[in-house]
Structure 1
Amino acid sequence: MTDTPDPRFAAWMRAERDTYEAIHQLHQSTQGGRQMANAEAMARISTLRREADRRLAELCGMEPPVARVEPRPSAELAQRPFTRPAPATALGYKH
């Protein structure tokens, strides 16, 4: 076993640490969510998170996830006429 880690693994760990530190700083600056977070901080965290995910996918030999997928058109539901159920005269409860 070697003492030198895989450089891809080390890069992923650095990206995860950077993301964690950015989230911690945002948490501190918003006083635990009691104040509104600014858009720049949220965008920075999102960018760091995507980079960490990309590095993990590279490390695992997987394709990185697609950011957004267009929604599929919903299938039209078949229209059924409204009908009332048959009266339940055969069912009853007696003491």
Structure 2
Amino acid sequence: MSQDAEPLHRWLQQQPASIRGVMARAQRLAQINRALQQQWAAEPWIQAVRIANIRENVVVIYAQTASALIPLRYRKTALLAFLQQRFELTCNEIDAKVRPDY
């Protein structure tokens, strides 16, 4: 870890549990999105989507365009299986939204 990052890291560790929880959640979502982009790189639409949130049994996905949601609808089962196997998530539903500004 660089010296510049060390104080920030220490500062984050000293913050209340709520901030640490938010940071851990953001890191987890980033990890899931990186794995999704790598594992599904052959799918042309995957670059236009990202997992924005996971709440209870629902995966919230944002897409840059509505056309990216069409193949997602057909690959929903495979995507949920990937998330369950790779990240041990118990999600069984996808809530997909178009968010061109993500």
TM-score range (shorter-chain normalised) is 0.3 to 0.5
* More strand, by proportion: 2
TM-score scaled to structure 2, two decimals? 0.33
TM-score, normalised via structure 1 length: 0.35
Structure with higher helix content: 2
RCO comparison, higher one (Cα < 8 Å, 6+): 1
Q: Which has the larger radius of gyration?
A: 1
